[in-house]
Amino acid sequence: MRKILDFITNEVVAAFRASGYDEKYAKVTLSNRPDLCEYQCNGALSAAKEYKKAPIIIANEVAENINGSMIFSEVSAVQPGFLNMKLDTKFLSHYLEKMQMDERLGCEKVENPKTIIIDYGGPNVAKPLHVGHLRSAIIGESVKRIGKFVGHNMIGDVHLGDWGLQMGLIITELKKRKPDLVYFQDEFDGDYPKEAPFTIAELEEIYPTASAYSKEHPEYKAEAMDATFQLQNGKRGYQALLQHILTVSVNDLKKNYENLNVSFELWKGESDAQPYIPDMVKYMKENGYAHISDGALVVDVKEETDTKEIPPCMILKSDGASLYNTTDLATIVERMKLFNPDEIIYVVDKRQELYFEQVFRCAKKTKLVEEDTKLQFLGFGTMNGKDGKPFKTREGGVMRLELLIESINDEMYQKIVQNHAVEEEEARKTAKIVALSAVKYGDLSNQASKDYIFDIDRFTSFEGNTGPYILYTIVRIKSILSKYMQGGRDASKASVLPAASDSEKSLMLELAKFNSIIENSFEEIAPHKICSYIYDIANAFNRFYHETKIISEENHIQQASWIKLLELTQKVLETNIDLLGFSAPDRM
Ligand code: ARG
């Protein structure tokens, strides 16, 4: 379905042409004075220079040539040369009716779908998820869903942090506690047990203990480094332990992500990229991309146009060890080989921006990717507490994600049982759904790159620009619809009538923007645009609802038309919240 803006632009283009002016001036936008008009065109102001005429004269001529168009109820030229337009209510209701009949609400899929890998989540194995991982998961999941809806082949990769000293620390601590395990026998050549020698609870305790201990005890740290080295060089017992650590950890992570309504197509990790490193290093050396600097192997990535210092990208340390860089580059090699993506998007803390700039430049320069492969960094800001400082527990520690979510669920549960007499089980279930909307909307309604204040009281409020407010609106619509159905009526064959009031027209104008908003929020990778869109819809709907007696309306044709409009509003809202990664309950 064509975007409503395209219909309008076409008419304005025709009128500019008919008046003898270049159509490039016929740019139409949403009105920034909704009290005066709905759409506007300021092209006469720029055309005035080329045609050496007063803008108002041009605007008048163009308006003259638009009048008579079926899609406007009013077009006026106003000083100093603006064109103000209002849509014809019949045109608008027809447009909505078509939208309502289409499963995708009039949003066509892209003609040329791209393969896009989206790297988000980034949890570290054996370390609990913390709030920093929350943002990556929430934003990445939403961007992935928007891309899929638009029609692209989106592949989400969790990119586990499963390579490095933390593995050696866990192995060292395990060896200290359970030295008799077969994994530590030098000459063991049988099959290792299928069962892991620890639970997730143990694992989560082992890592911080080992990490703290190693900071005080250099010999322990040296042992952990040696274990890491042996693991990375293929020691069988350690490799088998790594598999256990991964399985136990991934099972737990999956549960956590499931609670957040987040899922990944790929559960790959840093360790998967390791086999690609030797060839990649060889290739970079042989082609003269990499050179030795202070003993380390580096690729220069600075460019003449740089205004700030971009240090070289280090591939191997002087002791031959690889780094975070090396793994990310090798992961690019692997991704190109397995999926040949058109684009890779990284949803990572914005403090890693410079780092990714180095990695991207290095990948382009050394031709690990094709010239037109797009590497995109979507950096997010910090989630702060009410004091404006990075979010911490009351005791000042790093806030574990599980605990945070639990406390919000509880808070929401209290609210729900305060307001309604509901069964405990239903209240718990609803609380979980609404709490998720609070957390996700609270995050996504900010532009990703900005820091924001995690304010539980505000986020969980049923009023204002919040997730629960959006859900409350959907629930309200659902309840009107079910009342209507209980009355035994059926609106399925009804048509959408032209708006009968200003508030109804405003709601219709909002709904009609759907396909533009989706397209735009994908192009700009901006879920916050979807949030502000549904907030506008919810407000427009609630205004309409307060002014309109739907259930008691006696004209049944009018009533059925409103029911259609409500169904469409519900569908638009629910499609959008699904793109944000949450859903609505039936009651709340
Ligand atoms: N594991 C990393 C962390 O916790 C994030 C990984 C981001 N993705 C990447 N391809 N480097 O900071």
Ordered DSSP codes for 76-97: EEETTTEEEEEE-HHHHHHHHH
Q: Report yes or no on whether pTM surpasses 0.90.
A: yes
d(CA 536, CA 30): 14
Quick one: pLDDT at residue 171? 96
Beta strand 343-349 pairing with 313-316: unpaired
Q: What is the 3-state secondary structure (H, E, C) of 204-260?
A: HHHHHHHHHHHHHCHHHHHHHHHHHHHHHCCCHHHHHHHHHHHHHHHHHHHHHHHHC
482-530 pLDDT, tens digit per residue, is 999 998 999 999 999 999 999 999 999 999 999 999 999 999 999 999 9
What are the sequence ranges of the domains in the chain? 4-87, 166-259, 401-580
Question: Quick check: 267 and 160 in contact, CB under 8 A?
Answer: yes
Complex-level ipTM: 0.98
Quick one: pLDDT at residue 129? 85
Quick one: pLDDT at residue 266? 98
Least Cα distance to 163 among 84, 226, 246 occurs for 246
Interval between CA 144 and ligand 1 midpoint (Å) = 17
Beta strand 39-41 pairing with 82-87: antiparallel
Quick one: pLDDT at residue 264? 98
The response to whether residue 335 sits with its C-beta less than 6 Å from ligand 1 reads: no
Dump the DSSP string for 143-194.
HHHHHHHHT-EEEEE--BB-SSHHHHHHHHHHHHH-TTSGGG-TT--SPPPS
Quick one: pLDDT at residue 400? 81
Phi, psi for 349 (deg, rounded to 5): -45, 135
d(CA 503, CA 171): 65
d(CA 67, CA 50): 24
DSSP state of 351: G
Q: Which of 119, 163, 264, 350 to mutate to test the pocket of ligand 1 (most atoms within 8 A of CB)?
A: 119
List alpha helices for 340-381, DSSP H. 353-365
- Residues 417, 422, 423, CA angle at the centre, nearest 5°? 110
Quick one: pLDDT at residue 386? 87
Quick one: pLDDT at residue 390? 82
Quick one: pLDDT at residue 287? 97
Quick one: pLDDT at residue 232? 83
Quick one: pLDDT at residue 278? 95
Point out the ligand 1 atom lying closest to the alpha carbon of residue 356.
11
Residue of minimum CA distance from atom 3 in ligand 1: 122
The response to whether residue 157 sits with its C-beta less than 6 Å from ligand 1 reads: no
437-475 pLDDT, tens digit per residue, is 999 999 999 999 999 999 989 999 999 999 999 999 999
Correct CATH for 401-580 of 1.10.730.10, 2.40.37.20, 3.30.1130.10, 3.30.750.24: 1.10.730.10
Interval between CA 348 and ligand 1 midpoint (Å) = 7
Phi, psi for 220 (deg, rounded to 5): -70, -40
Quick one: pLDDT at residue 586? 92
Phi, psi for 78 (deg, rounded to 5): -125, 155
Quick one: pLDDT at residue 173? 96
Quick one: pLDDT at residue 401? 85
Determine whether domain 4-87 maps to CATH 3.40.190.150. no
Point out the ligand 1 atom lying closest to the alpha carbon of residue 349.
12
Quick one: pLDDT at residue 62? 96
Length of the chain: 588
Residue 132's identity, in one-letter code, is G
Phi, psi for 553 (deg, rounded to 5): -60, 130
Identify any residues that bridge with 375 across adjacent strands, giving them in sequence order. 344
For the chain (588 residues), the mean pLDDT of every run of 10, in chain order, is 94 96 96 92 95 96 92 95 96 96 95 98 87 93 98 98 91 96 91 94 91 96 94 91 94 94 97 95 97 96 94 93 94 98 97 97 98 97 89 76 90 89 92 97 96 92 96 97 93 95 97 96 97 98 97 96 98 98 95
Contacts of 501 (CB under 8 A, 6+ apart): 544, 547, 548
The response to whether residue 348 sits with its C-beta less than 6 Å from ligand 1 reads: yes
Quick one: pLDDT at residue 559? 97
Point out the ligand 1 atom lying closest to the alpha carbon of residue 124.
1
